[in-house]
Amino acid sequence: GAVVSQHPSRVICKSGTSVKIECRSLDFQATTMFWYRQFPKQSLMLMATSNEGSKATYEQGVEKDKFLINHASLTLSTLTVTSAHPEDSSFYICSASMGGVSNQPQHFGDGTRLSIL
């Protein structure tokens, strides 16, 4: 159980394009979802935390107008990279938390490899 599906797994697009990444919790309700960015050979960098029905909390240095996060339901959060440029190319990973008494704080998706040409 506790599967998180992330789509698409890979996207290649031209500079200036906006890209939407979906994160779904398939068999549980996620009170909180997290979005991470990971550069090659580096750790996960938290971008933002979102709770269903409320505005996302962005980490310092992350542009909220650049990375739009919507957490419209308990099973779906989306990250939209607006007017993407080559420096936005990265591996984006979402995770979802059931909160409460779960022994596993976050369940991760398989990531989205974003390449901006």
Partner 1 sequence: QQQVKQSPQSLIVQKGGISIINCAYENTAFDYFPWYQQFPGKGPALLIAIRPDVSEKKEGRFTISFNKSAKQFSLHIMDSQPGDSATYFCAAIYSGAGSYQLTFGKGTKLSVIP
Return residues touching partner 1 (CB under 8 A).
4, 6, 32, 34, 41-44, 46, 49, 91, 93, 95, 97, 99, 103-111, 113
Of 53 and 104, which CB lies nearer to partner 1 in the complex structure?
Answer: 104
Q: What is the nearest approach in angstroms of partner 1 to the Cβ of residue 61?
A: 15
Of 13 and 44, which CB lies nearer to partner 1 in the complex structure?
Answer: 44
- What is the DSSP annotation of the chain? ---EEEE-SEEEE-TT--EEEEEEESSS--SEEEEEEE-TTS-EEEEEEEETTSPPEEPTT--TTTEEEEEEETTEEEEEETT--GGG-EEEEEEEE--TT-S-S-EE---EEEEE-
Q: What is the nearest approach in angstroms of partner 1 to the Cβ of residue 85?
A: 23
